Amino acid sequence: MRIVIAPDSFKDCLSATQVAAAISGGIKRVVPEAETICIPMADGGEGTVEALVTATSGKIIPTPSVDALNRPIQSFYGILGEGKTVVIEMAAASGIEFLSQEELNPLIASTYGTGLLLKAAMEAGFTDIIMAIGGSATNDGGAGMAQALGFKLLDKSNNPIVPGGGSLGELHTIDRSNVRPLLNKVRITIACDVRNPLLGPSGATRVYGPQKGATPEMLHQLESNLAHFARILDREFGTDWSDLPGSGAAGGLGFGLLNFCQAEIVPGFGLISQITHLEEHIRKASLVFTGEGKIDAQTIFGKTISGIGKLAKKYQVPVIALCGKMEDDLNELYNQGVTSVFAIGDKPMSLTESKERASELLEATTERIMRIIQFQAKNTQS
């Protein structure tokens, strides 16, 4: 029996690699001879570096940077197994997980740290870079990232604007004289499944601002500032990317990368599937396990589980999805190719307990599922 294990992470709990290991353990309890192919997944957000480095036998490069409030941190980027392509996770520098609830403030949070990671990769000689841009604490349109790369964002008095989304309304001109020539030699691909534009009701600020600490008053200021930022960049670069799906990802970092780095946006799941050869593995499998922390009605909109279901449906391979919590009507997910969904809890418990026991619960739930599958297989053979 060949089983593909391709889960996303369980947020704030287990990495995709840890989830895959737990599922594999549950399978081996029942069918020790099963061939398990572990392919940790991500959709362009947190965990993308680990997923791609693991799948390609690459390596992680520790790299100093700063968090969204400009405090020094030890971050990283990944090099794929072929040795030529770098993967950078903006969440590893400018991510919301570095900040406490009290520290969240998109008026001052900046993507400068993400720019430092990009700069480090370029200075190391890499010219093919994948940017994973989920999980941000920022709403600065990628301004901080641009400043780290040498762009001078100046106000009317020719002074640099301060970091954060709160200062974008002061931007008057952009001085490119100190931009590193290396930037012209780099090809940057943005791995992103978020389809939001930069501005408007479905834009970066209105949709994601509140979860980054924006009050109703801040939302108006941040939206106005991003609109001003977009006008200045249109004047400076001659392009208007503000309506492009994905330009609003990560507080507008997608927009900034498009303008300052001539980047290209591609679907995160599709890119990761291609690099990991996921479809080929599924085509040869007899069963697929996947999962993520929460499965609900939003899971159908391009997330990992939905994508895996669609691939497996092409080859009529059953898909079992595991999660910590499930909500809503999941019929559309089943229509997309997922065979069944199982929550791993074995009794009423607190969120804290469920996180602490997540690996154990995943393994035990997988074991129970495999016992049913094994029983059915034996009956079919007889």
Confidence of residue 376 (pLDDT cuts 50, 70, 90): confident
Q: What is the mean pLDDT of residues 154-161?
A: 97
Residues 98, 25 share a domain: no
How many Å is the Cα radius of gyration of the chain? 22
Confidence of residue 122 (pLDDT cuts 50, 70, 90): very high
Residues 93, 218 share a domain: yes
- The values of phi and psi at residue 317, to 5°, are -100, 125
* Lowest mean per-residue pLDDT among 125-139, 240-254, 344-358: 344-358
Whole-angstrom Cα distance, residue 263 to residue 259?
A: 8
Summarize pLDDT for 164-201 with one digit per residue, the tens.
999 999 999 999 998 978 898 999 999 888 889 999 99
Its domain, for residue 177, covers 48-268
Of 237, 268, 299, the last residue of a domain is 268
Confidence of residue 369 (pLDDT cuts 50, 70, 90): very high
Residues 53, 12 share a domain: no
CA distance between the termini of the chain: 17
Q: What is the mean pLDDT of residues 360-379?
A: 92
Residues 67, 35 share a domain: no
Judged by DSSP in three states, 140 sits in: coil
291: left (phi over 0), alpha (psi -120 to 50) or beta: left
Judged by DSSP in three states, 10 sits in: strand
Residues 241, 129 share a domain: yes
pLDDT in the model for residue 301:
66
Residues 206, 119 share a domain: yes
Q: Which residues pair with 188 in a beta bridge?
A: 129
Whole-angstrom Cα distance, residue 302 to residue 324?
A: 20
Whole-angstrom Cα distance, residue 136 to residue 377?
A: 46
Tell me the CATH number at 374: 3.40.50.10350
Tokens of 217: 């008053």
Share of the chain above pLDDT 70, in %: 98
pLDDT in the model for residue 242:
94
Residues 298, 247 share a domain: no
Residue 280 included in any domain: no
- Is the pLDDT assigned to residue 154 strictly greater than 80? yes
Of 235, 268, 301, the last residue of a domain is 268
Whole-angstrom Cα distance, residue 136 to residue 121?
A: 20
Summarize pLDDT for 127-147 with one digit per residue, the tens.
999 999 988 999 999 999 999
Residues 351, 215 share a domain: no
Residues 217, 69 share a domain: yes
Residues 153, 52 share a domain: yes
Tokens of 169: 């309304």
SS3 of 64-110: the string is EEECCCCCEEEEEEEECCCCCEEEEECHHHHEHHHCCHHHCCCCCCC
Nearest to 94 by CA among 136, 47, 130, 132: 136
Residues 61, 206 share a domain: yes
Residue 339 included in any domain: yes
Residue 112 included in any domain: yes
The residues, any chain, with a CB within 8 Å of residue 245's CB and separated by 6 or more, are: 195, 196, 197, 265
Confirm if 145 and 175 have CB atoms less than 8 A apart.
no
Residue 275 included in any domain: no
Summarize pLDDT for 263-318 with one digit per residue, the tens.
999 988 888 888 999 999 999 999 999 999 888 877 766 678 999 999 999 999 99
The residues, any chain, with a CB within 8 Å of residue 208's CB and separated by 6 or more, are: 136, 139, 196, 248, 251
Confirm if 280 and 164 have CB atoms less than 8 A apart.
no
Confidence of residue 43 (pLDDT cuts 50, 70, 90): low
Q: What is the mean pLDDT of residues 69-97?
A: 96
- Is the pLDDT assigned to residue 162 strictly greater than 90? yes
- Is the pLDDT assigned to residue 45 strictly greater than 80? no
Residue 139 included in any domain: yes
Number of domains in the chain: 2
150: left (phi over 0), alpha (psi -120 to 50) or beta: left
Q: Across 7-21, 40-54, 103-117, which has the greatest mean pLDDT?
A: 103-117
The residues, any chain, with a CB within 8 Å of residue 34's CB and separated by 6 or more, are: 1, 2, 3, 27, 28
DSSP label at 162? P
Judged by DSSP in three states, 181 sits in: helix
Confidence of residue 28 (pLDDT cuts 50, 70, 90): very high
Whole-angstrom Cα distance, residue 336 to residue 121?
A: 38
Confidence of residue 11 (pLDDT cuts 50, 70, 90): confident
| Long-range contacts of residues 168-174, Cβ cutoff 8 Å, at least 24 apart | 168/140, 168/141, 168/143, 168/225, 168/226, 168/228, 168/229, 169/221, 169/224, 169/225, 169/228, 169/229, 171/143, 171/228, 171/229, 171/232, 172/232, 173/232, 173/236, 174/232, 174/233, 174/236
Confirm if 180 and 150 have CB atoms less than 8 A apart.
yes
pLDDT in the model for residue 88:
97
Look up tokens 């599924």; give the residue.
Answer: 282
pLDDT in the model for residue 269:
85
pLDDT in the model for residue 176:
94
What is the residue type of 356?
E
Of 268, 294, 329, the last residue of a domain is 268
pLDDT in the model for residue 44:
67
pLDDT in the model for residue 302:
60
Q: Mean pLDDT in the chain?
A: 93
